[in-house]
Structure 1
Amino acid sequence: MPTFLHTADWQMGRSYSRFDTEDGAALVEARFEGIETLAKLANEHRCDAVLVAGDVFDAQTVSDRTIRRVFNATKGFTGPWVMLPGNHDAALAESVWTRARRLGAVPENVHLALEPGVILLEAQGLAILCAPLTQRHTYGDLTEPFNQYETPEGLVRVGLAHGSVQGLLSEDIDATNPIAPDRAEVSRLDYLALGDWHGTKQVNERTWYSGTHEAERFRNNDAGNALVVNISRPGVKPEVTRLETSRYQWHQWRETLAVEFDLEQLLERLDALPESSVVDLRLDGAITLSGEEKLTKALSIAEAKFRSIRCDRSGLQLEPTEDDIAGLQADGYVGQVIDELRHQQQGEQSERARDALAILAGLLKSRGQEVSQ
């Protein structure tokens, strides 16, 4: 009974320039550790092979060190790996793959599917029908030749491809590199292993996107998994098991604060997140000065707890209550400044006015605390 692990979209060599240096480096390292996790899972589930459905590398120009590290990370699983070029690492005449071979970095048990055709893993009971991208974008279905590929009787036929299933993902990803939705049926495939979606998605009972092994963007598409596929014999429906592989969890929240309870709920949800979280938070609406103080403290704690948290408060207006103003003891000219800053939050300089109001409130509160001492 052939069993294999289906993974894709590793995007090795990608950078995280939008993050702080420390956080970006940790996210990069997690991707390498993720390959080691895949090797470990392949052993634990007694897989006969690991199939990588494209975009092993993020670009043709990744460093030699990245190339070597990728293949070094596969050593935990000594069975066969089959790696397919995708749109980011297409099998050009001169590519990251040809460079890997020149470096002598490719282990003997790693099969590079650089040309269309069939890779036979007879000892494992598998025939892998490969549709590599030989350029970044195509407008014809590269899996169509699967119809004509003959494979030895008794071997499970598995297609390996990278692209967009027609009529399914067109609203979310490019229409290039199309794949017919009935390819598994038409080409007599027992399973079609796909990459390019970055999330786990079932197309039909024999066609799946595995998604990337380590989440890397703020998209709610069930990223950070691998699939273990069991097929007892040719023609039998595959048994597909989804395994979580991602070290970090990515959360993107867009919240509107209107009343104090909204803030309380937000802070409770934030506190409940695990330390492995990468959080992108954008707030709008209104908040009181006391609420602003609570929020600032919570974000400070979260910065030390999570892998990364970013909070855009440019759309969040400060609306001090009468109690807030009374607590600041801001009479006379200072009181007039506060009123003016509150008014300016409605105009083009709203973000600056908000920041100035928060700073002024903080200074007044600190002064009040010093006086009371």
Structure 2
Amino acid sequence: MPRFLHTADWQMGRTYSRFDTEDSAALVEARYEAIERLAALATEHQCDAVLVAGDVFDAQTVADRTIRRVFNATKGFSGPWIMLPGNHDAALAESVWTRAKRLDAVPDNVHLLLEPGVIRLPEQGMAVLAAPLTQRHTYGDLTAPFNQMETPPGLLRIGLAHGSVQGVLPEDIDSTNPIAPDRAATAKLDYLALGDWHGTKQINERTWYSGTPEPERFRNNEAGYVLIVDIDTPGATPQISRHKTARYQWHQWQESFSVPSDVDDLLNRINQLPEASVLDIKLSGTLTLAGDQKLTEALAIAEARFRSVTCDRSKLQLEPTEDDIAELQADGYLGEVVQQLRETQQVSEKDDEAATARDALAILASLLKSKHAGAAQ
């Protein structure tokens, strides 16, 4: 019974400029580790081959070291690796693939499908029909020739392509390259392994997106997995099992505060996350000074615990309560300053001016509390 591992969208060479240097380096390294994990999975589950459905590399201009490291990471599986160019690493006349060959970086068991056609793997019991992208965007269905491609009897017909299944995926995916939703049926494929959608997604019983093995963006689309596919004989229904490969979980939350308990609810949710988390929070609404201090302290702890924590407070207003004001002991001139900052963030039509007033109010409150705490000791 042929068994293979389906993966895609490694995006090797991707950078993370929005993160600081330490976090960016860790996220980059996690992508290499993901390749090593899927190689170990393929060996553990005795797969006959690994199929990579495009976008091995994030760009044509990745460093030579990146190219070498990618192929080095495949060493954990000695069977055939079948790699297809996608829209990020299209098989141009001069491409990342031609550089890889010049570098002599491609192991003997790695097959680069740089041209349309069929690669026969009789020992593995399959024939792979390839639809590589030879330019970043196409407007015709490159899998259409699958209907006429002949394969030896007795071998599974496995399609390998990278693009957008028409009428199924959202419009904001990476590539415009169209694929007919019934291609597996019209081409009599036993399985169609797709890349480009970065989450695991079933189109029909014979057509799947594996998604990227390591998430790289804030989308709730089941990223971070690979698929292991078993097909007993040509024509049999594929049996699909999903295997987690992700190291980091990416979470993006939008929270609106209106009552003090909203802060506690958010902090409870944060505390339930695993340490291998990348968290981005966007806040709006109103918050008391006491709530702001609690939030700031909790986020400082979270920043040391998780891989990355970012928090956008640009839409958040501070609304000191009477208890807040009393605790600050901000009478006289300081009281007037506090009141002015409260009003500025409420009435200013300029976002940056309101944000400056809010931040100044938070800093003033922190300084006054520190001063009173020191005096009490």
Q: Is TM > 0.5 for Structure 1 vs Structure 2?
A: yes
Unaligned runs of 5+ in 1: none
| Structure 2 residue 88 is matched with structure 1 residue 88 | yes
CA–CA distance in structure 1, aligned partners of residues 268 and 282 of structure 2: 16
Q: What do residues 260-305 of structure 1 show as CA deviations (whole Å, max 9, x unaligned)?
A: 1111110000011011000011111111111111101100000100
CA–CA distance in structure 1, aligned partners of residues 171 and 162 of structure 2: 17
CA–CA distance in structure 1, aligned partners of residues 258 and 170 of structure 2: 37
- Corresponding residue number in structure 2 for 1:357: 361
CA–CA distance in structure 2, aligned partners of residues 298 and 221 of structure 1: 28
* Runs of 4 or more above 3 Å deviation: none
Q: What do residues 31-81 of structure 1 show as CA deviations (whole Å, max 9, x unaligned)?
A: 001100010000111100000000000011111100000000001100000
CA–CA distance in structure 1, aligned partners of residues 225 and 198 of structure 2: 9
Which region of structure 1 is more displaced relative to structure 2, 172-181 or 282-291? 172-181
- Corresponding residue number in structure 1 for 2:26: 26
- Corresponding residue number in structure 2 for 1:367: 371
The alpha-carbon deviation at position 176 of structure 1 amounts to 2.0
The alpha-carbon deviation at position 170 of structure 1 amounts to 4.3
CA–CA distance in structure 1, aligned partners of residues 173 and 166 of structure 2: 11
- Give the letter aligned to residue 84 of structure 1: L
CA–CA distance in structure 2, aligned partners of residues 80 and 343 of structure 1: 67
Native 8 Å contact 1:139 1:176 kept in 2: yes
Which region of structure 1 is more displaced relative to structure 2, 172-181 or 111-120? 172-181
1:61-210 matches, cutoff 5 A:
61-173=61-173, 176-210=176-210
- Give the letter aligned to residue 47 of structure 1: C
CA–CA distance in structure 2, aligned partners of residues 45 and 283 of structure 1: 45
- Corresponding residue number in structure 2 for 1:331: 331
Aligned length: 373
CA–CA distance in structure 2, aligned partners of residues 27 and 363 of structure 1: 36
- Give the letter aligned to residue 66 of structure 2: T
CA–CA distance in structure 2, aligned partners of residues 50 and 171 of structure 1: 29
CA–CA distance in structure 2, aligned partners of residues 263 and 365 of structure 1: 20
The alpha-carbon deviation at position 372 of structure 1 amounts to 1.3
Native 8 Å contact 1:164 1:170 kept in 2: no
CA–CA distance in structure 2, aligned partners of residues 295 and 54 of structure 1: 43
The alpha-carbon deviation at position 194 of structure 1 amounts to 0.2
| Structure 2 residue 297 is matched with structure 1 residue 297 | yes
The alpha-carbon deviation at position 148 of structure 1 amounts to 0.5
Native 8 Å contact 1:117 1:149 kept in 2: yes
Native 8 Å contact 2:174 2:197 kept in 1: no
The alpha-carbon deviation at position 172 of structure 1 amounts to 2.9
CA–CA distance in structure 2, aligned partners of residues 364 and 165 of structure 1: 59
| Structure 2 residue 294 is matched with structure 1 residue 266 | no
The alpha-carbon deviation at position 175 of structure 1 amounts to 6.5
Determine what percentage of the aligned residue pairs are the same residue: 73
- Give the letter aligned to residue 281 of structure 2: L
CA–CA distance in structure 2, aligned partners of residues 341 and 136 of structure 1: 52
The alpha-carbon deviation at position 174 of structure 1 amounts to 5.6
CA–CA distance in structure 1, aligned partners of residues 105 and 375 of structure 2: 68
1:33-44 matches, cutoff 5 A:
33-44=33-44
CA–CA distance in structure 2, aligned partners of residues 277 and 196 of structure 1: 24
- Corresponding residue number in structure 1 for 2:224: 224
The alpha-carbon deviation at position 171 of structure 1 amounts to 2.3
**Aligned partner of residue 312 in structure 1, secondary structure:** strand
| Structure 2 residue 277 is matched with structure 1 residue 277 | yes
- Corresponding residue number in structure 1 for 2:344: 344
CA–CA distance in structure 2, aligned partners of residues 71 and 120 of structure 1: 22
